[in-house]
Structure 1
Amino acid sequence: MVAEIITIGDEILIGQIIDTNSAYIASELQKLGVAVYQITSVQDDREHILKALRDAESRAQLVLITGGLGPTKDDITKHTLTEYFEDQLVENQEVLQHIEFLFEKYISTPISDLNRRQAMVPSKARILHNAHGTAPGMWIKGKAAVFVSLPGVPFEMKQLFQDQLVPKIITEFTRPVLLHKTLITYGLGESAIAERIAHWEDSLPVHMKLAYLPNLGKVRLRVSIRGTDPEALQDELQQRLGELKMLISDILFAEEDGEPLEVTLGKLFRAKGKSLAAAESFTGGKIAAQLTAVPGASQYFRGSLVSYATSVKSGLLGVSQALIKEHSVVSEAVACAMAANARKLMHSDIAVATTGNAGPTKGDSKSPIGTVYIALATENGVFAEKFTMGNHRERIVQKSVHKAFELLQKEILKY
């Protein structure tokens, strides 16, 4: 089964906003066994949208559209869909009641006729309830494909996608089984890995694929398999993965099922019943931000103390000024003290700490830019590792966050 995604909005094409909707939709469709053939972004223009709809229907069985559903004149998706399907707009009473409810309970400005106009939908559309917004989703059957129009606001779209659209895709379409497994490697580049596993990769059957996903010091190897028998596919996938692991055992760090490492970490900490705290310097709270972006983080994550300034490390965090003076603020000793004190202050089982030079200047440290120390404090002791992360500030920070998560994963798996 093949799908296409169309995003509508001038703001995407001029770079005013980043199209995160397409990435989310494509990722979720893959989980359902739906392959995305093409993603297209078009401006708020009638002819441009009509052409995109025609082209998509010629290639796909499912076409998902986001954006252009607002109350203002530049939001023309509904009108263009009505023209495409030779339909007319009608007022949907359920949508109207929901809009009036939202304004009465959550919106301070008075409701206007412009807002009520969002209850006007194509008569051929089946409404997908948008619990968090005024623009409903719409499901319309075309001659060769089903068209689904979704709101452009990301949190509205995601909730509607999961609650309303996923069940309909499952019941309305026959889909293949699609399984993924990702191996995370460190210490070898993409091309070197490709040379090492070339024979294994060449032997893969046509229903299996390998993708190389290099990013910030690591290479993820995603193996995908497609078919109809879930048990047989799982057995075949595990057999092939076993062969691959033997070839890369010296650089293999972890496995994942296509989810971010912070999600995997949360599952592991909750399963082990352990708590986590952080003391961050140059990472500026990014460890905490990524952990707490995942629902349920409060079950294991105590918090983070962002001790960006040296005075805060010695003051609030309690790192000895003598220790800082002797070893420098960017050092193994200070990183270990930060982790140990954070663990004690926040009464956690494990604590992680970061200190380093992200540049462009050296600040209070004499260490070269890119020098990073990441420490872990556990019930078994405290240790730190030194890394050299290059000279690009943003990459230094994000690579360090990734490395902190990797060290945490390795540690929590010991319990």
Structure 2
Amino acid sequence: MEKKYAGIITIGDELLIGQVIDTNSSWIAQQLNQVGIQVKKRLAVGDNRTDIWEALDSMMNETDLILITGGLGPTADDITKPLLCDYFGGKMVMHQETLEHVEHIFQHILKRPMIERNILQAQVPDVCTVLKNEKGTAPGMLFEKNNTRIIAMPGVPHEMKWIMLNHVLPNIPNWYSTGFIIHKTLLTAGIGESFLAEKIKDIEESLPEHIKLAYLPNYGMVRLRLSAWGIDKTTLEKDVDNYFNLLKIRTENDLVTDEDETMEQVIGRLLTSRKQTLVTAESCTGGYIAHLLSKHAGSSVFFKGSIVAYANIIKEELLQVPHNTLITVGAVSKETVTQMVKEVRIKMNADYSIAVSGIMGPGGATAEKPVGMVWIAVASKENVEVKEFHFRFDRERNIGLTAINALNMLRQMIVDNR
């Protein structure tokens, strides 16, 4: 049994100019890993015939499976289908089942007449196997050449996912003997990547060839991910668990979670298990902490709401920050966030609260209060903890760092039952 490799090609000028973020390839890669196929290469190319052709050529000799998304629509810039027809030496033919499906969509769902462009959606190369697309008009297509399978799918995410889930992933075991790929991830906070690497240097150096360690830093946190491939799943899991436990012990003081979850998911899990609630009072983050907490389904169980007190008048009127405090020590001060965190918890009747106030940049700084200076407060019914931070990045990253540090301060308070 050999490792099986996949390549992913995403097509569209909109990907290259940053107008659309490519979420397709990351989702596809996650699904392939779960069935034991390792993604070796991901390429994003524009709506250019030569570039697409060269991308296919480069992957044909390196991969067993190529997944293509995009360029299957009805407009002139959708060139993937005719290119694939030429690449595999076929001719375009009308696929009757697809035509009937397209007709049904226009007559019974969209309730509007079809035009020639819509009818052409049902044309496919005669050298492919058609993969029915129940969610749209452009079918998927399966080609085979030199022991490599090439699958073309629409770029619309929900259409691509339907084809993957119904036509591709269920057939992987029939196409390949893949072995197993295992990932285990832990999350640390409050320690830099280089310091973390030094702390676990001997563990990393002792890893066998089939287990790899990756560092994934982001906004004051670092994920450590062990990845392994093998034929015997039981043995593989045992090997990974042994090294993963060593990493957990070595990073104990910095460890947030030994699951592949975000900081806000950790907070949600902790509060939900204790049947406790949280509110926030945000100035410099403008509701970003509330966004992180509320973007996950079920967060209403523990997250009650937020007051975005961006202007001083809101701090005064809704959070009872004394006018004199704002005049003498300012909005970015220990005194202000202390009052904010106390008042928002009481006003919204929650078990815990977070308050932040700072200078995110690029303007608004003074000699005494530079860009990146932030005060963060967390509170329970019994305690209030306040810390001053100094971040050194641009506005977006300073906001992200403020949010993560605030959530981590709260996590530590919850875990310590303070």
CA spacing shift, 1:316–1:135, aligned 2, 3 Å: farther
Structure-1 residue corresponding to 2:276: 274
Comparing 163-172 with 48-57, which one deviates more in the overlay?
A: 163-172
Q: Quick one: distance in 1 between partners of 2:100 and 2:354?
A: 50
Structure-1 residue corresponding to 2:131: 127
Residue type of the alignment partner of 2:243: R
Q: Quick one: distance in 1 between partners of 2:154 and 2:416?
A: 44
Q: Could you tell me how far 1:329 is from its partner in structure 2? A: 1.1
Q: Could you tell me how far 1:411 is from its partner in structure 2? A: 4.2
Structure-1 residue corresponding to 2:45: 42
CA spacing shift, 1:271–1:111, aligned 2, 3 Å: farther
Contact 1:63 / 1:146 at 8 angstroms: preserved in 2? yes
Structure-2 residue corresponding to 1:147: 150
Q: Quick one: distance in 2 between partners of 1:137 and 1:128?
A: 6
Q: Could you tell me how far 1:359 is from its partner in structure 2? A: 1.8
Secondary structure in 2 matching 1:340: helix
Residue type of the alignment partner of 1:385: K
Residue type of the alignment partner of 1:360: P
Q: Could you tell me how far 1:390 is from its partner in structure 2? A: 1.4
Q: What does the per-residue CA deviation read over 1:28-85, in whole Å, with 9 as the maximum and x for residues that have no partner?
A: 4334332111112223233332332233122111111111112101101112222233
Q: Could you tell me how far 1:91 is from its partner in structure 2? A: 4.2
Secondary structure in 2 matching 1:316: helix
Q: Structure 2 residue aligned with 1:205, among 182, 204, 208?
A: 208
Structure 1 runs of 4+ aligned residues shifted over 6 Å read none
Secondary structure in 2 matching 1:291: helix
- The answer for unaligned runs of 5 or more in structure 2 is none
Q: Could you tell me how far 1:163 is from its partner in structure 2? A: 5.9
Residue type of the alignment partner of 2:35: L
Matched, 1:115 2:118: yes
CA spacing shift, 1:312–1:122, aligned 2, 3 Å: farther
Structure-2 residue corresponding to 1:403: 405
Contact 2:283 / 2:310 at 8 angstroms: preserved in 1? yes
Secondary structure in 2 matching 1:50: helix
- Same amino acid, percent of matched pairs: 38
Structure-1 residue corresponding to 2:362: 360
Q: Quick one: distance in 1 between partners of 2:24 and 2:321?
A: 44
Q: Quick one: distance in 2 between partners of 1:413 and 1:159?
A: 41
Structure-to-structure mapping, 1:9-408, within 5 angstroms: 9-92=12-95, 95-96=98-99, 99=102, 111-123=114-126, 124-131=128-135, 133-158=136-161, 160-162=163-165, 165-169=168-172, 172-250=175-253, 252-362=254-364, 367-408=369-410
Secondary structure in 2 matching 1:30: helix
Q: Quick one: distance in 2 between partners of 1:104 and 1:354?
A: 55
CA spacing shift, 1:365–1:311, aligned 2, 3 Å: farther
CA spacing shift, 1:188–1:301, aligned 2, 3 Å: closer
Contact 1:357 / 1:365 at 8 angstroms: preserved in 2? no
Contact 2:215 / 2:223 at 8 angstroms: preserved in 1? yes
Secondary structure in 2 matching 1:24: helix
CA spacing shift, 1:387–1:231, aligned 2, 3 Å: farther
Contact 1:129 / 1:164 at 8 angstroms: preserved in 2? no
CA spacing shift, 1:362–1:109, aligned 2, 3 Å: farther
Residue type of the alignment partner of 1:240: Y
Residue type of the alignment partner of 1:77: T
Q: What does the per-residue CA deviation read over 1:368-409, in whole Å, with 9 as the maximum and x for residues that have no partner?
A: 321112222334433232211114222211111222332344
Q: Quick one: distance in 2 between partners of 1:162 and 1:294?
A: 23
Contact 1:130 / 1:137 at 8 angstroms: preserved in 2? no
The alignment's C-alpha RMSD in Å is 3.2
Residue type of the alignment partner of 1:303: G
Contact 1:276 / 1:348 at 8 angstroms: preserved in 2? yes
Q: Quick one: distance in 1 between partners of 2:101 and 2:302?
A: 37
Residue type of the alignment partner of 1:369: V
Q: Quick one: distance in 1 between partners of 2:116 and 2:183?
A: 48
- The answer for unaligned runs of 5 or more in structure 1 is none
Comparing 330-339 with 307-316, which one deviates more in the overlay?
A: 330-339
Contact 2:277 / 2:303 at 8 angstroms: preserved in 1? yes
